Structure 1
Amino acid sequence: MKKTAQEIWQEYEYALQYNDTIGLESRVEKNENFFLGKQWEGVNAPDLDKPVFNILKRVVNYFIAMLVSDNIGVGLSLFNRKSDGVNRVILTAVEEQVRQVMEYSGFHSAMRGILRDAAVDGDGVLHVFFNADAKTGRAGEKGLIEIESIDNTDIFFGNPQLAGVQRQPYILIESRRSVEDVKEEMRRNRAPKAEIEKIQSDCPRNDALASEYTYGDKVSVLTKYWREGDHIRFCKVTRNAVVQKETDSGLERYPICYMSWERVKNCYHGMGVIDGLIPNQMAINKMAALAQRFIRQQAFPRIFFNKNKLDKWVEGVKPLAVQGNPSDIIYADTHAVNMSGQVGEYIDRFIGNTKELMGASDAALGNVNPENTSAIIAVQKATAMPLELVKQAYYQFVEDFVRICIDQMRAYYGKRTVLTTSEAGEQEEIPLDFSMLGDMVLSLNVDIGASAYWSEMSNIQTLDNLYEKGLLEPVTYLESIPAHLVPNKAKIESDARRRMEMQEAAGGEEVKEDAMPQMQTMRNAGDGTKGAADGGR
């Protein structure tokens, strides 16, 4: 494995050459311009108006909103193993920690940017890392998991023909950092002074035409991850200096989450939703520009007058003095020429067809007025169909993030006091050694599911109907309702279970709330008598 600064930089240059062969950077720049509305870049037509009908941005934002509007629930369980009491407590505590990581790191907010990058540029990339200096709010405990989004032009796989992250021989990440920041990190790493002095500003991507203002006091830093044995190792280098020496991260998974909007065979870079529709967008803009030019030139009448008789034409009712017969001042006006109605129809049809191809028709947009739950569900399914494959990739992305978080908890958290929820529904603090996750990660099953509003409402309505018909017990009914819809659900569930047990002990009669303490006393007394009788045998 290549580990010196020069060797790693050579790998980086080879990766840049590969990206050039597939035209990645030029394609990303073009897609970004079209998404942002800069759709006439490079067109040399100073006398032509340049209107923009940006249908791509509207549809992409709709897709992103559809994907991130779903609530993502993360549940942990042991694969092909029965969870005993101890494992259940651990899994519940880890679930709470994963939710805290998502909240602290702003994962849900970051996912909007990730999906936007995937839709426009083709790929969404998230780098998960452990900040050892972050405060946890408890004395003696430091370190939290954080995230950062990475452009797909700044990450390079060791095998570019292979899309799987965890199967890569190595991964390079490029970042532009200030020179002083890099030097300070090297001082913390106790690098030799001569090595620190090698850090100087450089041009981004070896661009000789880049001005000093473009790169300022920035330097390109490459972080290399590679697998060696069961662990992931990493180092940081510049072109000619080592920022951080080879280090064993203790991780078993690459800390990279990666998703493509549309997979491309034999390539780790995907295609965005707007890649193949840019020609359509250009045609719409050109047709609108020509229509606007026609209206400006032909839709308004023009006045022609005899310049030999009159020096200039003055608008308004002010009288003009002329020499000779005023009738000799000859003028004429041209009538407005109507533009063919086919132009507007063509533009509307072109826009409609393009939206249809993107999967954003009126039916998919949900522009209907459903009158019942069945119609709402039908509209929801119709809306989600074009995004189903992307949604699965999105769920896999979140699952990868959860697995990476658990891997980093195992490697870095150590022994901590965590807040969890007991079976009685009460919050309690328990000590937890996260290193024990090492034996559980391999058999861990992460379940991710969307809980859209109307699906939940229809499910609850079904539960209500079953309960009213006597087909569900109260405890089963409560267990089936999503927890976030019932405040303090665990406590209510526990009370209902206790009430049902007391009712059974009372011979099936209804037990009132004020009779519960008495029933519990009677039951305890009965158990004690039974125990004494058993002991006398």
Structure 2
Amino acid sequence: MDWQNEACTEIWKLYQKGVDYFNRQNLYSKTEEAYRFFLGDQWHGLESGGERMPVMNVIQPTVEYKVATVAQNNMSIHYSSMRPGSGEEEREVCELLDANAARQWELRKMDRMCWDVVKDACISGDAYVFFYDGEGNAQLIGNTDVYLSDEQCPDLQKQKYIILAERRFVSELREEAKKNGLTEDEIDLIQPDEPEHRTSDEERREVGEDEKCTSLLYMEKKDGVVHICRATRNVIYQKDTAVQSEDAEGNIAGKLTQYPIASLVWKRGRNSARGMGEVKELIPNQIEVNRLLARRLINAKITAFARLVYNGQMVENIDQLDEVGAAIEVQGGVSNVRDMVTYLNPAPMSGDAKELTDELITQTRELAGAGDAATGQVDPTQASGAAIVAVQEQAALPLNEQVAAFRQFVEDVASVWFAIWAAYNPNGLEVEIERDGMKQVEVIPAEVLQQMRVFIRIDVSPNNPYSKFAQEQAIQALFDSGAITFEEYVEALDDNASAPKAKLQEIIEKRQQAQEDQLQQAIGIIQQQQQTIQTMQQAMGGGAGNAVPVLPQ
């Protein structure tokens, strides 16, 4: 029991060390503020007496544009051997690895995951993906739930240890502790606690009958092998375990040599593992835009509408003044009713306030690189696809750093996947491929995975509407000029092109079938003619090799 408390206390101390660092950097509050402003909760904490304050959200479209610009790039993973002069066998292995990576990418829905990662990184500064099993399944981890041993080291694989914090049900943890052989007294130490260090109200409001507690996943490399340990505040419910696999004979066949985690940092600071997102620097301007809008609305409510003025001593039915069509009863003569009831003309509002608001919004978007030209506020019917793409690519140049970071993230994912495949497949890695229209399974031997050192290349291809528009225009021009046939034109179209590729392929297939039918009919006619000629030859007493006599004219 003593070793349990001592070890757990040490892990919890390391966790508290990370918490203290985050508090000094105000990371919890900054992350919460960034998400609030992105989602439009920009008057949080204001006591407005029930009045709903106006919001003109400049941050959300800016973030969504940049996220789309980065995440819409299609990434493809390619492995190659780092051994000089590698032979045909290793080349085939790398082709199998490429096929397996493409299949895993689809199975694990990594396209959707990448959009979430890019969005989280753009908002909070950095985002993390944790691969929690030998299949390569992943989950998104918030930046405030990842605690590093060295916050100045940007390379996750060089960290001495990494701690992941999560909120889990107490009943689940107790069940795992029981499976891991803990005593009842040790299991009772797993108690619910408060959801501290959460960055949203939704995370703080835990629902359900079962209570939760903070669980820590501690990862450390020992002799190049990843070891994991799971603990709560008071007890370790999974002791230190090396992540490795055994073959049928009980021998160690694979070891995990990389932390199963990858990160995307939006704007990396100098000598820092953390990053800064787009939202933080836009918050001051966003606050001022909302304040100007609120002042203009308040001013309009007070001065923009005519106000009723009446003499209370001269008007009898004051309560009916605001009723439509009601008669006004007055005392004395009615020579000048305007002295008893009248309206104050509305005061004009200066246009400077609106101009300042518009200028602040426009300049904020332009300086953030998300103006109208960049976000695609262009009529595509008035410009060619190539021209629009050229304008957007020029406007997106400041995001090349983020595209490179996204590419590095995918490369890190590919590297972690290879490490997982080598560690969790003692009997070899089975890869499903398709050859000649038939699906078959190839096996990469475990010893090949263990000994192989791979180089990873990530191919990037933009995938936006105007790039597709320009590409389709180029293909159409080649077809119109006669440089390619109709069949080649259809084959060159993407599956998601604006032209209905599937329907065009059906037309081609119907034409080909019609041509084959015509060919078969022609062959049948020729065969009938040959049979008729042979019959005539036999009737005239000629042999099979005799020529048919020519009839006189």
SS at 1:405's partner residue?
helix
Which consecutive unaligned segments of at least 5 residues does structure 1 have? Answer: 132-143, 487-537
Distance 2:146 2:173 in 1: 19
Match of 1:242 in 2: 236
Q: What code does the residue aligned with 2:463 have? A: A
Which of 323, 326, 336 pairs up with 2:334? 326
Distance 1:372 1:158 in 2: 52
Distance 1:264 1:327 in 2: 79
Distance 1:246 1:51 in 2: 54
Distance 1:213 1:451 in 2: 40
Q: Normalization by structure 2: what TM-score?
A: 0.76
SS at 1:378's partner residue?
helix
Which of 67, 72, 76 pairs up with 1:69? 72
Is residue 2:396 matched to residue 1:384?
yes
Q: What code does the residue aligned with 2:13 have? A: Q
Q: Confirm or deny: 8 A CA contact 2:315 2:328 kept in the other structure.
A: no
Which of 33, 41, 45 pairs up with 1:42? 45
SS at 1:353's partner residue?
helix
* Alpha carbons of structure 1 residues 107 and 326: separation in structure 2 relative to 1, 3 Å: same
Match of 2:519 in 1: none
- Distance apart, 1:113 and its partner CA: 1.5
- Once the two structures are aligned, what percentage of the paired residues are identical? 27
What CA deviation, in whole Å up to 9, does each residue of 1:32-89 have, x standing for no partner? 1111111001223438651000111111112222222222111111236345332222
Distance 2:204 2:308 in 1: 55
Which of 306, 311, 315 pairs up with 1:310? 315
| Superposition pairs of residues 14-53 of structure 1, within 5 angstroms | 14-46=17-49, 50-53=53-56
Q: Confirm or deny: 8 A CA contact 1:203 1:219 kept in the other structure.
A: yes
Which of 453, 461, 471 pairs up with 1:450? 461
Is residue 2:159 matched to residue 1:186?
no
* Alpha carbons of structure 1 residues 307 and 382: separation in structure 2 relative to 1, 3 Å: same
Which consecutive unaligned segments of at least 5 residues does structure 2 have? Answer: 244-254, 498-553
| Superposition pairs of residues 265-276 of structure 1, within 5 angstroms | 265-276=270-281
Q: What code does the residue aligned with 1:56 have? A: I
| Superposition pairs of residues 106-505 of structure 1, within 5 angstroms | 106-130=109-133, 144-205=135-196, 214=206, 217-249=211-243, 250-311=255-316, 312=318, 313-314=320-321, 315-327=323-335, 330-368=340-378, 369=380, 371-372=383-384, 374-414=386-426, 415-422=428-435, 427-440=439-452, 442-452=453-463
Tell me which structure has the larger Cα radius of gyration.
2
Distance 1:443 1:288 in 2: 57
Distance 1:400 1:85 in 2: 26
Distance 2:407 2:197 in 1: 37
Q: Confirm or deny: 8 A CA contact 2:75 2:458 kept in the other structure.
A: no
Distance 2:235 2:206 in 1: 22
Distance 2:293 2:16 in 1: 43
Q: Confirm or deny: 8 A CA contact 1:411 1:435 kept in the other structure.
A: no
Q: Normalization by structure 1: what TM-score?
A: 0.78
Distance 1:318 1:459 in 2: 69
Q: In terms of mean alpha carbon deviation, does 339-348 or 70-79 score higher?
A: 70-79
Q: What code does the residue aligned with 2:418 have? A: I
Q: Confirm or deny: 8 A CA contact 2:186 2:235 kept in the other structure.
A: yes
- Distance apart, 1:247 and its partner CA: 0.7
Distance 2:149 2:41 in 1: 34
Q: Confirm or deny: 8 A CA contact 2:81 2:91 kept in the other structure.
A: no
* Alpha carbons of structure 1 residues 456 and 428: separation in structure 2 relative to 1, 3 Å: farther
* Alpha carbons of structure 1 residues 78 and 485: separation in structure 2 relative to 1, 3 Å: farther
SS at 1:420's partner residue?
strand
Q: What code does the residue aligned with 2:77 have? A: V
- Distance apart, 1:276 and its partner CA: 0.9
- What is the number of equivalent residue pairs in this alignment? 465
| Superposition pairs of residues 87-102 of structure 1, within 5 angstroms | 87-102=90-105
SS at 1:259's partner residue?
strand
Q: What code does the residue aligned with 1:113 have? A: D
Q: Confirm or deny: 8 A CA contact 2:386 2:467 kept in the other structure.
A: no
What CA deviation, in whole Å up to 9, does each residue of 1:434-459 have, x standing for no partner? 4422222x342232322436667878
SS at 1:219's partner residue?
strand
